[in-house]
Structure 1
Amino acid sequence: MSSVAFHTLGCKVNFYDTEAIWQMFKHEGYEQVDFEQTADVYVINTCTVTNTGDKKSRQMIRRAIRRNPEAIIAVTGCYAQTSPAEILAIPGVDLVIGTQDRDKIMTYVNEIKSKREPINAVRNIMKTRQFEELDVPDFADRTRAFLKIQEGCNNFCTFCIIPWSRGLMRSREPESVIKQARMLVAAGYQEIVLTGIHTGGYGEDIDNYSLAKLLWDLDKVEGLKRIRISSIEASQITDEVLEVLASSDKMCRHLHVPLQAGNDTVLGRMRRKYTTEEFGRKIELIHKAMPDVAITTDIIVGFPGETDEMFREGFEFMQAMKFSEMHVFPYSQRTGTPAARMTDQIDEEVKNERVHELIDLSEKMQLAYAEKFVGQTLEVIPERAHKGDEDGLVMGYTDNYIQVVFPGSEDLIGRVCQVKLIEAGVNECKGELVGVVQLAKAANN
């Protein structure tokens, strides 16, 4: 039996795409092995969101070549899309396939097996207008199912290379989304996470359809317990989306709404499509529609031209938003973006100081949010055994994205458990099992 090994860098969309590519290899009779083992084919799904992503991708490609010089080395993903010639220049690379035409990967692999000639299968992504259908009926080692509904982005923020690696906005056909959702529920999944490059833009390219309509259609899928949106822009939280949040009992009380900066001058330079006032108003409306909602966000620190005064103003704005968690990143120059050419770059030491200050703020807000639920019984779907000092613990997430660790055996993984929160903490809270609502996911039985 031929073997294949995967290594995925970057975002949830890349992980979804890797799972989809694995399905094709599995269909051809391949066995999946660990990336550190000897395999007949290595697939490296790359990231290019930062220059560091490019570097790490090259490192993993070379590691695979060293592991088995006779193996077929296939490189896909965002870095492959933007820099195919650079990757093919690495001795030992056989296939570069980018972020489209992944459904042809087995044809290319079989061709390389017979001819052993490198193939550059990358086309101009900006000309692509169709969503690439890549089904994933099951996820290895996961109790939450990811469902990719959208590809590409039309925003062209000044710090971001992604439109050039993923192309323009393309939505998946609603019938295809619902069909896969039913397939995932039939496989035993309790929670589906809707994901994409610009998830909240779903439906903008479909006549008389929208994200809100998709959410209502998913709400009707029998057996589905939770619907979670992986990320949504403030500008895409329409009145119709707010109505779904207020009315559907399947929508998770958690939204990830990227802010990026808490100062209007910086937001303008980033080419973001909102002001802090508009963002704050949307957050207020979300809280009204869905009380006790957890709102997480992304923050870029030290964007070119961000003065101490701008940072301080942003800090106060973030405090006022009462996020349940912030993912904080120092600004990193990405070659090829307008922001990388800006002359007023911020000193790395200054960036690091600001990053630590915001991480401290995030931890305080995370603890404050979790403390509100101490003593309450919440539904948790355990994802794995907890690795710590104590044995006999499992961990999982509530619908409002509180990570809870509680005593329990591994046969609880994938089940919906009622857990009383007994102690709040940063990153994880402690709970005690009250009862079990649902049977385990079929794939885990």
Structure 2
Amino acid sequence: MHTHTPFTNLAFCIRTFGCQMNKHDSERVAGMLEGLGALPVDAIEDADLVVFMTCCVREAADTRLYGQVASLKNTPLRAGTPLSKRVVAVGGCIGQRDGQKLVDELPHLDVVFGTHNLGSLPRLFEEALDEGGHHVEVLDAGSSFASELPTAREHAWAAWLPIAQGCNNFCSYCIVPYVRGREKSRPLEDIVAEAEGYVAAGVKEITLLGQNVNSYGRDLYGSPRFAAVLDALDATGIERLRFATSHPKDLTDEVIGRFGTLRSLMPALHLPVQSGSDAVLAAMNRRYTRAHYLELVRKLRDVLPEIALSTDIIVGFPGETAKDFEDTYRLVDEVGYHQVFTFIYSKREGTPAASVDDPTPRDVIQGRFDRLVDFVQKRAFEANQADLGSTVDVLVEGASKRDAGLLAGKSPKNQTVHAPLPEGTSIEELAGTTVRVRIDEAKTWYLAGEVAEGSEPPAEAADGR
């Protein structure tokens, strides 16, 4: 039972933009507010407290945030609210970057906090409730990890587990080191203890998080020790282990080898290449070459031929020539990714690339982007054909968004899989369990099939938060 607090009977809603780290931070915000007696709601118009967890990697995120915050000005309060005014907060990377500027430009915004002081939000909210006015607190560096805060996970069977925060790479286009700070690794024993707690609570899948996970430990031990993290997490008994995001320059043979030896490590890896051109990679300050990247892919497939690779690619980086783009296009063909996240370059003030003018016409860049997207979809379709006719283990996440009679879940390769609910079962019963699905349809973005006979859910699904 909650003791009475200023948050009792208040409803809150969180809107999250950007990376998995922001999603994890949002779960911590939810955990803090629920622990103080506030109740989560899905719709902003039903909320007394609204939190935007923001990303500033691309300009579109700024535009979207300003639009959504501005729209709240004229959104009526819910019936029965104890407040005379909805209280609105902005956190995450835009909060960290802009601070006071946000309330100057959005005067009906009440609270701004940054990436390093997540735990300050309840106090800032309480001050806004008591005093009104604007409450801005942005710290330059954090002394603790958000994982020390309570959490309310989106799914009982899946958990984000940050192992490091910040980034030392300073890619010339990227704002992250400026808003997330320098690399800081958690002690291994803290990571293992958190993972063991998740396993004991019935969590089936853990995703290790960091702006650059495979440089884990450089600040603590002088050299990366990410392979040791994978070994330790595998030993906890977790069913599925994933991680994001990896930097190619720090992907060691030791870590690559774990894909062939660790029971829980899933056969999927997100390995952002950004460009297939050596000239562009150098201008981006990525510190690897096209040949080095392709050698990593060869090694990964030597260890685990069926590994599913995904990547990020930026089109239209300042100075990218037609030849540079063709090098990227050919790399996508050579690798054969399961998934590619494609972006048109977005200038971020404060980064070195922002001062570089590019004479390339916008329609030329858009044409390259559209051509790449079409090719990416073709190659993704081809990659998924390898699983046609196979039977795959699917961790059920819920009902399909396109048909409530279908379950939806993820394969070990992180592919979305759909299948009709077996007769006599409900999605509530299956969610968080692993079923075997015979694949008889392989599309660009999903696999589909039938749940195999004898693929029964365990007696108890993952339990609790």
**TM-score (norm: length of structure 2):** 0.90
Return 73-82 or 431-440, whichever deviates more.
431-440
Return 10-19 or 330-339, whichever deviates more.
330-339
Return 174-183 or 432-441, whichever deviates more.
432-441
Preserved contact between residue 338 and residue 379 of structure 2 (Cα < 8 Å): yes
Instruction: Give the Cα separation in 2 of the matches to 1:142 and 1:55.
Output: 33
Preserved contact between residue 30 and residue 151 of structure 2 (Cα < 8 Å): no
Preserved contact between residue 380 and residue 416 of structure 1 (Cα < 8 Å): yes
**1:396-435 equivalences in 2 (<5 Å):** 396-408=409-421, 409-410=426-427, 411-434=429-452, 435=455
Aligned to 2:270: 256
Aligned to 1:30: 38
Question: Judging changes above 3 Å, is the alpha-carbon distance between structure 1 residues 439 and 332 closer, same or farther for their aligned structure 2 residues?
Answer: farther
Preserved contact between residue 188 and residue 443 of structure 1 (Cα < 8 Å): yes
How many residues are aligned here? 441
**1:383-402 equivalences in 2 (<5 Å):** 383-388=397-402, 390-402=403-415
Aligned to 2:21: 13
Match of 2:230 among 215, 220, 228: 215
Instruction: Give the Cα separation in 2 of the matches to 1:70 and 1:46.
Output: 22
Instruction: Give the Cα separation in 2 of the matches to 1:204 and 1:437.
Output: 42
State the SS of the aligned residue for 2:116.
coil
Instruction: Give the Cα separation in 2 of the matches to 1:319 and 1:299.
Output: 13
State the SS of the aligned residue for 2:310.
strand
Instruction: Give the Cα separation in 1 of the matches to 2:89 and 2:21.
Output: 18
Deviation string, structure 1 residues 318-352 (Cα, Å, up to 9, x no partner): 21112222111111222222222212243221122
State the SS of the aligned residue for 2:343.
strand
Percent identity between the two aligned chains? 29
Instruction: Give the Cα separation in 2 of the matches to 1:150 and 1:140.
Output: 21
User: Would you say 1:115 and 2:102 are equivalent positions?
Assistant: no
Q: How much has 1:75 moved relative to structure 2? A: 1.4
Q: How much has 1:133 moved relative to structure 2? A: 3.6
Return 234-243 or 154-163, whichever deviates more.
234-243
Q: How much has 1:438 moved relative to structure 2? A: 4.0
Preserved contact between residue 166 and residue 182 of structure 2 (Cα < 8 Å): yes
Match of 1:70 among 77, 80, 85: 85
Deviation string, structure 1 residues 82-134 (Cα, Å, up to 9, x no partner): 11122121212222111111112212222222222322211224xx5654444
User: Would you say 1:278 and 2:292 are equivalent positions?
Assistant: yes
Instruction: Give the Cα separation in 2 of the matches to 1:85 and 1:4.
Output: 23
Deviation string, structure 1 residues 416-436 (Cα, Å, up to 9, x no partner): 111111121110111111113
Report the residue type matching 1:230 in the other structure.
A
Aligned to 1:83: 98
User: Would you say 1:442 and 2:462 are equivalent positions?
Assistant: yes
Aligned to 1:124: 140
Instruction: Give the Cα separation in 2 of the matches to 1:439 and 1:198.
Output: 38
**TM-score (norm: length of structure 1):** 0.94
**1:20-169 equivalences in 2 (<5 Å):** 20-67=28-75, 68=77, 70-89=85-104, 90-125=106-141, 128=142, 131-135=145-149, 137-141=151-155, 143-169=157-183
- Across the aligned residues of Structure 1 and Structure 2, the Cα RMSD in angstroms comes to 2.0
State the SS of the aligned residue for 2:30.
helix
Instruction: Give the Cα separation in 1 of the matches to 2:459 and 2:57.
Output: 39
Aligned to 1:326: 340
Preserved contact between residue 35 and residue 42 of structure 1 (Cα < 8 Å): no
Task: Extract unaligned runs of 5+ from structure 2.
Answer: 1-8, 78-83
Instruction: Give the Cα separation in 1 of the matches to 2:144 and 2:73.
Output: 33
Question: Judging changes above 3 Å, is the alpha-carbon distance between structure 1 residues 64 and 180 closer, same or farther for their aligned structure 2 residues?
Answer: farther
Deviating above 6 A after TM superposition, structure 1's stretches of 4 or more consecutive aligned residues are none
Question: Judging changes above 3 Å, is the alpha-carbon distance between structure 1 residues 316 and 142 closer, same or farther for their aligned structure 2 residues?
Answer: farther
Instruction: Give the Cα separation in 1 of the matches to 2:444 and 2:102.
Output: 41
**1:278-357 equivalences in 2 (<5 Å):** 278-357=292-371
Return 171-180 or 200-209, whichever deviates more.
200-209
State the SS of the aligned residue for 1:34.
coil
Aligned to 1:380: 394
Return 229-238 or 434-443, whichever deviates more.
434-443
Instruction: Give the Cα separation in 1 of the matches to 2:194 and 2:129.
Output: 32
Instruction: Give the Cα separation in 2 of the matches to 1:406 and 1:133.
Output: 35
Instruction: Give the Cα separation in 2 of the matches to 1:395 and 1:444.
Output: 21
Q: How much has 1:254 moved relative to structure 2? A: 0.1
Preserved contact between residue 43 and residue 73 of structure 1 (Cα < 8 Å): yes
Instruction: Give the Cα separation in 1 of the matches to 2:252 and 2:381.
Output: 30
Task: Extract unaligned runs of 5+ from structure 1.
Answer: none
Question: Judging changes above 3 Å, is the alpha-carbon distance between structure 1 residues 138 and 177 closer, same or farther for their aligned structure 2 residues?
Answer: farther
Q: How much has 1:397 moved relative to structure 2? A: 1.2
